[in-house]
Each structure stands twice: as C-alpha cells, then as structure tokens.
Amino acid sequence: MEMGSHNRNEFVAIHNHEEPKSTSRNLDGQVCEICGDEIGKTVEGDLFVACDECGFPVCRPCYEYERREGTQLCPQCKTRYKRLKGSPRVPGDADEEDIDDIEHEFNIEDESEKQKHAMEAVLSGKLNYGRGPNEDENAEFPQVIKGEQKLSSLHKRVHPFPEPRSEISWDKKDGEGKEKMDDWKILQQGNLVMEMDGTNDPEMGMIDESRQPLSRKVAIPSSKLSPYRMVVVARFIIMGLFLQYRVTRPVPDAIGLWLTSVICDIWFAFSWVFDQLPKWLPILRETYLDRLSIRYEREGEPNTLAPVDVFVTTVDPLKEPPLVTANTVLSILAMDYPVDKISCYVSDDGASLLTFETLSETAEFSRKWVPFCKKFNIEPRAPEMYFALKVDYLADKIQPTFVKERRVMKREYEEFKVRINALVAKARIVPVEGWIMQDGTPWPGNNTQDHPGMIQVFLGEGGGFDAEGNELPRLVYVRVSGVLTNAPFMLNLDCDHYVNNSKAVREAMCFLMDPQVGKRVCFVQFPQRFDGIDKHDRYANRNRVFFDINMKGLDGIQGPMYVGTGCVFRRQALYGHEPPKVAKRPKMESCSCCPCFGRKKKHQKVSKSLVNGVVANFEEVDGESKEKLMSKMNFEHRFGDSSVFVTSTLIEEGGAPTSSSKEALLKEAIHVMSCDYEDRTEWGIELGWIYGSITEDIITGFKLHSRGWRSVYCMPKRSAFKGSAPINLSDRLNQALRWALGSVEIFFSRHNPIWYGFKDGKLKLLQRFAYINTTMYPFTSIIILTYCLLPAICLLTDKFIMSEMSAFSGLLLVALFISFFTSGILELRWSGVTVEEWWRNEQFWVIGGISSHLFAVVQGLLKILAGVDTIFTVTFKLFDDKESKELYNFKWTTLLIPPTTVLIINLVGIVAGFTDALNTGYQALRPLIGKFFFVFWVIAHLYPFLKGLMGRQNRTPTIVIIWSVLLASIFSLVWVRIDPFVTRARGPDPKDCGINC
C-alpha cells in the first residue's frame, strides 16, 4: 500500500519544491544486465554481442555461463545463443564442417617463442596483471594470445557467474614445467581466480559468490512436461469432437435429459479449459542461502538483511487455543534471523485477556526456549511439535550436554503448559462485572465489539534478553507496526501456523532482496502444510493438487495467488505503490553499409540511446511523475491523518522516522490502531489487506497483480510453515463453504476478474483465466448436482442421455476417458502429487460441489438480491494426531442434506434399474451397463462422505437411522411403482391384435 519508491530525502525534497536526487550510475559504457559490469569490446573495437537477434546486453562470462549451466537462451527474446568464435562447444551446438577454432585458438607453432618468454616471466615474478597509469610501458609483459583477445588487456572483473576455466597448453619437455603450467587457470576475458602458486583466493571467491543471483528458476524437464502438453492438446481435440457429436445427435424420446446433459458437458469443458491453461508453464525455484549471507552478512561489517515484521492473527481463544498461539509465537522468536531484524506483532481481534496473559507467559518462557533452539539447531522450533516428534532426536547432535539440557527444557515446557492450562480454566467463567487487571482497573476489552486500542510491548529493544544475556526479538500485543518498527517486509501467519523451517524468512529474502528481480516482487507465498490429518486424508485437507500443481503453474505466469497465511509481503506494494518500471530498449536496426550484418551499428545505437538516453530520461520522467503524484495526492484521504505514519509510508527501506522519540511513537501507534482511524480513508479498499470479503486474501493478491506486480512461489525442501486443519466432515464442509462464498462475493463485486483492470493490461491473460476460475468454480456446483442426479433419473425412467452408441461414438467416449486419465497421470508425474492425493481431491470436488459450493451460490445470491448476510464461526484448531478422534465426530449441519439425498436417490436408482432388468429379461441388461457406470461414478466419489456420515465404527448416529427409515420408505414406494412380480412382455400386446397375431 505504498505510493512509490521514495525515500525520506525525496519526500523532504518534494515538499521543499526541490528536484529529488537520482541515484548515480556509471553510464559511460554499456553494462551487462545480469551482473552489472561493463560489456567490454572485441579486438576490433566493437561491443561484444551475445545475441544477434535482440542485442540484449550480456558480458562474455555471463554468456558462457548461460550456455554451459543455464537454459542457453537469451533472457530477453528467448532465442538460443549461437556459439561464437572462441567459445567452448556445449551440447546442442550444431555440427560444423570447418575446423574447430577451439583446437587452433592457440597458434603454438607461430607463437611458441612468445609463450616460452611469457612462461619465463611468470616463473621469475616479472608478470604484472594490469598497470597503473604511471607504470613503465616497456615493462616485461607477456602477449599470450587467447582467441581474439590478448592477455595483456586482462583486468580483474568480478561476475555473478563462474566462468569456464581452460588450461593454456605449453610445449614443455620436462615434467616440472608441465606441472607448473597446470596451475595456470585463466578465465575467459582474463578474470583471474587462482594465484600463480595454484591456490584459490578465498577473498576473490567470496566476492564472486556475493555477486551471483540469490535464486534461479528450475525448468521442469521436457521429458515430463512435453508429453503432458501433447496429451492435453489431444484431450482438447477429442473433447471438441465429442461435444460436436453430442450436440448433433439428440435423443428424441428423452429430449429433456439430452439437452440437460449437453449443457453440463459444455460447462465442464469450459471449466476444464479455464483450469488447465494456467498450468501450461509450470516452474520450480531454487534458492541460495549461502549467497544471501555472503552478500548481506559479511564478517566484520554491519548486518544488512532487511527487517521483517511478523503478524499473528487470532480471534477466539476458546476455539483457537492459547497454547497453539503460544507455540506459533515461540517459533517466530526462535527463527534463524538477526534478532534486531525480527518483530512479532500479535493482533487479537477478540481483545481477550486470556490471550494477553498467554503472551506474557510466552515472553517469559521464550527467554529459555530461544537460546536452547539456537544452541542445538532445533527443528521445528515450536516446542509442542518438537517434543511430539516420533524420531531419533539424537540424530546429528554432537554436544554432550544436549540430552541433559533437552530433558530440562522439556520439563520447563510441561510447567509452561500447566500455567497456560490454568489460565484457560480460569477464563471459562467470566465474572459478571467483567475481567479486572492486576492493578484493579477493568480490562479494556471486556466489550469485544467496542473497546479502545490496546498496546503492550512484552519484549522490546533494550528490554528483552534471554537467559544467556542475548537480545530477543520484539514481541508486541498490537496490530499496527507502521509507526513502530516499520519493516520493509511483513510476514503474516494464522495463530495455528507455526514456523516449521527456521530459515523460512531467509528463503523469502532470496527473492525479495535480489538486486536484479526483487524490486518487482510484491510477495513470496509458501505452500500450506498441515499436521494432525488422518493418514489417508479422507477429505483432501492437504489440498496438494492446488498447492503443488496449480500454484506451480501460476508461478510460471505472473505468480501464485495469496492464500491468506505463510506469505511475506513487500510493504511498499501493500501501500499502493506501482512496481518499478523498466526502460524499453530500442529495436535493432539493420546496417547495410558494412559486413557486420547490423551488429556494429545496432549496438552503437543501443549504447548511446539506451544507456545515455533512455535510462537517464526514465530517471528524469519517473522523478517528475512522482513529484506530480506526491504534490497532488491527498495523503489524509489515503493513509489517514497521522503525519508520522504518512512519513513512514515513504521510507522504502523501512524504519521509524528518526525525529520521533519512542514515547511519541507509542502514542502515535495508539492513534493509528484506533477503530475509527481507517474511516474515510482508502484502507481496506485500495490499500493494505482488502476488507469486505470473506476471502480477503484472494482479492488482495488480485489487486496487487492487477497493478503489475508479480509474486513468487517458494517451496523449500523443509516445509516453511505448518498448521492445523479441520479434520471432521462437518468442519471441513463449513470451511469449504466460507471459501466458496468469498469467491461468489468477488464474482458479484466490482473486482470481478472478467473486467477489473482489463484496460490497464497489467494482468497477464493466463493469470486472469486463473482468477476467473477461482471466482466461478462455486457455480459449477449446479452442474455437478445435476450430473449426479442424471444417472438415477435415467434408471428410474428407463431413458438415457445419449442415443444408441455407434462404433465411432464408442471410440470417442473411450478416447475421452483415456485422455482424461493419461493427462492426470502425466500431471502427477511432473508435480510430484501422488495418485491417492489426486483421487481424494476429485472426491471432495464432488462432495463439496453438491454441498458447500451449492450453499455458497444460494447464500451469495440472497446476500446480493435480498441483503441477507451470513455469520461464520471460527473453526476449532487442534494440535496433532492425538486428536484424530475428531475425525469421527459427527456434527449435524444442513450441508449434509444434499449429498445424503443424492446418495440415496442413486441407491434407489440402482435397485429400480436392476429389478426392472430382471423382470424384463436378459436383453434389458445391456442398456444398463452405461447407466450403472455413471451411477457407480457418483457413489465412488461420495464414498468418503458416506464414511463420514457413519461416524466411528459400531456407532451409528441417530440422524443416519432417520435417513435409513426414509430410505426404506422410498424403496417401498419405488417397489410398488415397479411391481417386479408382474411380467412385462416386450413387443405388441396380444389383447389388441388377437391370438394369432
């Protein structure tokens, strides 16, 4: 929600009507867009050209690295790099009939004397690598020719990629000379990385490592992705042929069933296309934490890692147990990140004294827990989850005191749990006059609907130290940080999502702090992982298909969606700022006056216009546009009437205004956190997390992407965060209802992705398809319900949705099913999702479709048309599989009615169809095959629902008995209607045509 990339000096300059100072940059020569160093020139004096197609500026070492280790493609036009003279061959280079210049790039016969002279100079210590301006030009210096460049022109330049090392061949007769020559490791363009004695230079290696990118894209192997795409295309063609056949082959005696089924088929086809297209370009990512440390945590220098504010949200301590929140907070305080860079803010929307007291106890226990975790490198750093691990906790532990200290810490944690449980027991009985604090004053949050702003700093700068005297991260009971720490990045977590990987924030910083691409990243989303789910994940709580397939596909377009938790934001993006713009490079112009085929003229133009003109003009125009924007913008309307907070929104690097004291900042924080501060501002409308929707996460990420930002999906090997999920059927359906209703609300709002931001063109088309599918999937519930009822109706009416199948139609149907399963299997192959997880997702797609999603559509329409609102309750949070008994808990809800009805109707249809076939004769069994197939398809998808409906074994709920009685009644009525004891003769009636007919 920031308004630009201004820093504090620029803000002051604007209000003083001064020109903001632009960042100085060396524009004397063309620079590499990857490493930032100068491109350099060839021996002819021309600029080095890596790509002949677009002229994207890349230096030779980066060009060589990309050919050898990367994708071998130009970063701009994606054209494969051609092999240039003097470059080593790599797999994929076209075979050339001429002599390889690599084999003859050292003319040993012609230059042997020069090489011997150079070798003698090296061994005698007379070789100098680069001269100063006052050095003797006649000093002895070897003129070793390497390709088209001379060694005398080498200079020490550091590049972000390691360069290919090649040994210079020397014609020596003695073995001693050969061994000495083997120590010569000269990089392309003469970048020296080894000393003459053959040892590595650690300082140079560290500098080189610090210049390398902090992350990279890992393309999914084409052997996995190409077959998948081919099958998807084949499925699309087969689906088109099948729909054409269905539309042109009506069923005269069942026109209603035929038309309904055709409409359902067309809807399913479009729904599949909108779901499939965003998966076309899936990618993986890899981070380099060691490079992050080398770049920003250099020994002997101040730590320059960016500060991070962590927000933990909670509402009801009775449904979200305080011990769960305490473990989340402890895992945050113990993260592997500089303590002065981490601040934990707990936002208690319920204003509960129980939560407040829990945080007080948590702050005290953290003084022991945090040093224990960091001393022994504990994972995970939530004590409840760590002590519950059923693994060898001595693995990789080498300190002899570990067992003793672990035993002591476990006892300390058990005592901590007893204190928290005592607070919970006390909080269950609320006094009539409300809660009273220790000083005798009433608790300000006794009225949860109307209470003043509250702030309490439990652990702060200079006041929070652990048992060993080390400083602890800040812990604050408040929901605003903009005027306190004001970190440039923010991590938000639900109270039940603890830090499972202590380096999670470092993983995010590899993207957000990357000097090349980080400025355009608005947030880094981590996948959600859960504890306490039953082994077979009966109700698809893990949602692996979405997190491991859909989100990887979105990462290859414009970035994953924001899913509400486990996400690190750039504060400037939330403040409404636009992403930094990139100057466009002029197109290549042909040159017909010289045999360079446009290369020389093109790059001279690029050098002059791009570097000296376009970039400078962009800086000037961008500064003017910012100044105009800042001068005309009504800060009070956007950010409220706090001058301190408005100033903090302009500090891109974060940090509170230095002119304010701590007391003034606390006072200002109380003002900003008041409930009426956001009134008459753009908070929740255009800035920050967007309010007014149940799924505020989806709409928040959608608005950021619509502004042109991109996001990143980070999947470290060790899951970054883990949480709890509702595992019984009723809670799972209620959770799905809440998500679906939020999507329906977005569909009927002004943020509908079909048209919102369409004119700006900043949201990519495939990304828009993904958001459209996200808001429209609840409406598919009507189609799913219809399709689940069609098989039973066909059995009860002795009709079918298709005409008599021919060989061609049968072949189309078989091909459609084969393509469906093949594409699914290949999708699992490149994503890593198991078959069981995919099947559970398909089952809950049907279960949720005919219950939660259907109710969401109805309630959404009632809210839009009649203004009837729905109040949702928070789902209960549990710890681990000790609570797996909740899986069998049966809680009646109206969401269970539609699936149960569908299940019963299909069972009735099976009985009716089978009985009618037995009564009619053997010839009636053949038409039943197709009908039975679709009926069993419905029942197979509803099987987990049936198990959930039955509850624990040998304990049938009363509601099931009631439905069984109703089912028996329906069976009786259908049985009377069918009358299976009366023989039904096929053909003409003998009574009508006579005995001799």
Q: What span, in angstroms and rounded, lies between the C-alpha atoms of 310 and 259?
A: 54
Burial 284-317 (b: 16+ CB within 10 A, else e): bbebbbebbbbbbeeeeeeeebbbbbbbbbbbbb
What stretch of H or E contains 327? helix 322-333
The residue to which tokens 């002229």 are assigned: 55
What 8-state DSSP symbol labels residue 381? -
Cis bond before residue 380 (omega within 30° of 0): yes
Helix (H, G, I), strand (E, B) or coil at 581: coil
Beta strand 489-494 with 567-570: parallel, antiparallel or unpaired?
antiparallel
Angle subtended by helix axes 222-248 and 255-276, to nearest 10: 160
One DSSP character per residue, 824-865 reads HHHHHHHH---HHHHHHHHHHHHHHHTTHHHHHHHHHHHHHH
CB atoms within 10 A of CB 625: 13
Q: Are 477 and 359 in contact (CB under 8 A)?
A: yes
Contacts by residues 25-33 (CB-CB < 8 Å, ≥ 24 positions apart):
25/615, 27/611, 27/612, 27/615, 27/616, 29/607, 29/611, 30/57, 30/603, 30/606, 30/607, 30/610, 30/611, 31/57, 31/611, 32/57, 32/58, 32/59, 32/62, 32/159, 33/57, 33/58, 33/75
Radius of gyration for the alpha carbons in the chain, expressed in angstroms and rounded: 35
Closest CA to 510 of 273, 716, 663, 771: 716
Q: Which residues are catalytic?
A: 349, 697
Q: What span, in angstroms and rounded, lies between the C-alpha atoms of 839 and 538?
A: 10
Q: What span, in angstroms and rounded, lies between the C-alpha atoms of 607 and 628?
A: 30
The residue to which tokens 């309904």 are assigned: 260
CA distances to 3, 640, 855 from 13, rounded to whole Å, are 16, 22, 56
* Cβ burial, residue 899 (10 Å; 0-12/13-18/19+): buried
Q: Are 744 and 860 in contact (CB under 8 A)?
A: yes
